[in-house]
Amino acid sequence: MNYFSSDFKLGILGGGQLGKMLLFDTRKFDIQTYVLDPSDEAPCKIACNHFFQGDLMDFDTVYNFGKKVDVLTFEIELVNLEALEKLESEGLKVYPSPKTLRSIQNKGRQKDFYTQHAIPTAPYHRFNDLKSLVVAFLDSKLKLPFVWKCTEFGYDGNGVKIIRQASDLESLPNVECIAEEMIPFKNELAVIVCRNPSGEIKTYPVVEMEFHPEANQVEYVICPARINDAVAEKARAIALKVSQNFNHVGLLAVEMFQTQDDEVIVNEVAPRPHNSGHYSIEASYTSQFENHLRAILDLPLGDTDSKVAGIMVNLVGAEGHSGNVVYQNIEKILGWNGVTPHIYGKKQTRPFRKMGHVTIANENMAEARKIAEDVKNTIRVISE
């Protein structure tokens, strides 16, 4: 199949920032793109060949969109699985496959998958609703503190809450959920694995994530992670095991905890380009987005090594600001060496909404981390 400067059509479900960054590489290769997103102001709209507005959870919308393209991928997991399964049964290449997505889309099923495949993960209980969780708690089957997660529709720290006292249960929604033992960990790590249908597989270096204490969102992604080689090897080996068991095609971001005694356990996965890989646009030989594209088109995978140390700073909406977005002091950071901002194109900001990121590429990790802090303290995402 000739993908380049040809009639080939790639479909992307979801038109957010991940799709927008993926489209940078489709344009580089001159690949025709079709994007479906519920919002008429989706970041992808300016960068694709054909944009369609529609509900990603609606069977007919997703099915009819899929009929227009030759290969279908997604940049968000919340899509209609039945439509993807029907398209695949009719011969459309859907990557990652609906089977992979079905195991991942629901966090309860995802946790069960790890247990079934002897992949280390935090002990947990599944509940059909909040009421059942409360009954288990009153029967002393759950020890405080624990981590509550809704099984579906959670993202970016939404749908996750640390339960430290009984009263914390009162504010939770009555949905299917899991209660997970709280693991005291040293580090949150992630490894991105890319795999093509021919079975070629590569991992990116282990990255370390520094979180915002209140928003439960990543503030910095640091590559390479500041951990010893034995822990890094263990993390990469576990990520490969997870990837092989899911049998995915495309990218799989495996988020992990490094425990106090240097064990590595899996927290959760995402079958798509991921926040923990954004640094790769500037710091790696092949970005995660280009490798996602290579993987789903069954092309040889690119080199995943880093050229320099890379740190990514998330730009999120400032507290107390909602409305038309303004990026304050962006021109100041543009004068700094090795600093590259990425603005996602969302017109409206609100507190903690992901609005962009900045990458710092530097041969010296300590210097990169210092500049990252300066970026964080300089640029502000506010409203008009």
Binding residues: 107, 149, 180-183, 188, 267-268
Number of C-beta neighbours around residue 56 at 10 A: 20
Query: Cis peptide before 145, with omega less than 30 degrees from 0?
Result: yes
Given a contact cutoff of 8 angstroms between Cβ atoms, the answer to whether 232 and 206 are in contact is yes
- C-alpha to C-alpha distance for 46 and 355, rounded to whole angstroms: 16
Crossing angle of helices 98-105 and 229-246, in 10° steps, is: 120
> HSE (CB half, 13 Å, CA atoms) of 345?
16
Write down the number of H helices and E strands in the chain.
Answer: 11, 21
Q: Which two tokens stand for residue 293?
A: 């594209």
- C-alpha to C-alpha distance for 59 and 129, rounded to whole angstroms: 26
Number of C-beta neighbours around residue 340 at 10 A: 16
Phi first, then psi: give them for residue 176, nearest 5 degrees: -60, 140
- C-alpha to C-alpha distance for 53 and 36, rounded to whole angstroms: 6
User: Which candidate, 131, 112, 132, places its Cα nearest to that of 123?
Assistant: 112
Q: Which segments are annotated as binding site for ATP?
A: 107, 149, 180-183, 188, 267-268
Phi first, then psi: give them for residue 50, nearest 5 degrees: -140, 125
Rg value, the chain, Cα: 21
| Residues whose CB is less than 8 angstroms from the CB of residue 73 and which lie 6 or more positions away in sequence, other chains included | 10, 11, 12, 13, 94, 95, 96, 250, 272, 292, 296
